[in-house]
Amino acid sequence: MALRILLSNDDGVNAPGLKAAAKELRTIGDLVIVAPMSDQSGVSHSLTITRPLRIKKHDSKIYAVDGTPTDCMTLAFHEILKRDPQVVVSGINHGPNMGEDVHYSGTVAAAIEGTIMGIPSIAVSMTAPDTNGRAFRSAAKFLRRLVPKIIGRIPRGTLLNINFPAFPNGGYRKYQITRLGHRTYTDIISAKRDPRGREYFWIGGEPTWARYKDTDAAAVAKGIVSISPMNIDMTDVDLLNEMQEWKLR
């Protein structure tokens, strides 16, 4: 029986990274794409509840949603798919999703939603620009080999966050199991004025990554694929146990 795969992203249904992933994943299973109609980068885990959502059906295997990645996953599970997938893949994202950035990422949010639904889920990102498609194609081949190996091995409540470095000679072969790193941004707010003299702001800036040992950023800096397990239960268990002894009244 073919492996049932649900593919989404936050860059939009026509993004090259998603198309590269789809081409390879179709060779190992029954693939359905449910992705945003337009770029939804940085929307995190937001859910649209103040307006109706519309679905554009490209064919029986490709659906575009005029909403966020979380909207896509919700509609996929509760409206579009006849059977739950066996694995959820989100990506391949255009740009990194490492360290604290996972909290802002729509790519990671789609995988988190899949995890909440009880499905093994993977978020996949490309950290460097890919002008000719070679990096996306090679990353997709890596993903094709990985997906069958993780089915049944990811604990419930856990997802994998994968980041590919700049394209190496020979393609992506080396990988490292990592923890999330830490980053800081410089010049995060850019203030300008429009032609009418009114001030406006762009949120952006360039990140600086602390390359602590065994982190996603450190692996990527060495040209190695980073694979980070993430748990959706954000409870601080150590502090939880310590707080049992606190006298708060």
Buried b (16+ CB within 10 A) or exposed e, 14-50: ebebbbbbbebbbebbbbbbbbbbeebbebbbeeeee
What pLDDT is stored for residue 61 in this prediction? 97
pLDDT for position 33: 98
Give pLDDT, residue 212: 85
Query: What pLDDT, on the 0 to 100 scale, is given for residue 246?
Result: 94
CB 230 within 8 A of CB 102: yes
Sorted by where each begins, the domain ranges of the chain are 3-243
Q: How far is CA 153 from CA 34, 67, 159, 174, in A?
A: 25, 31, 11, 20
Crossing angle of helices 134-150/16-25, nearest 10°? Answer: 50
pLDDT at res. 209: 80
pLDDT of residue 208: 80
How confident is the chain (249 residues) per 10-residue block, as mean pLDDT?
A: 93 98 98 97 96 96 98 98 97 96 96 98 96 94 96 95 94 96 83 95 82 92 97 95 91
CA-nearest of 121, 124, 63 to 91 is 124
Count of alpha carbons within 13 Å of 178, Cβ hemisphere only? 28
User: Nearest 5°: phi and psi at 233?
Assistant: -85, 105
Q: Which pLDDT does position 169 carry in this prediction?
A: 84
Q: Identify the CATH class of 3-243.
A: alpha beta
pLDDT of residue 247: 87
HSE value, Cβ hemisphere, 13 Å, CA-based, for 200 = 7
Please, which residues bridge with residue 125 across strands? 93, 163
SS3 236: coil
For 160, residues 6+ apart whose C-beta sits below 8 A from its C-beta are 111, 121, 122, 123, 150, 154, 227, 228, 229, 230
φ/ψ of 26, rounded to 5, equals -65, -20
Structure letter (DSSP) for residue 22 = H
Query: In this predicted structure, what is the pLDDT of residue 170?
Result: 86
Answer whether the bond into residue 92 is a cis peptide, omega within 30°: yes
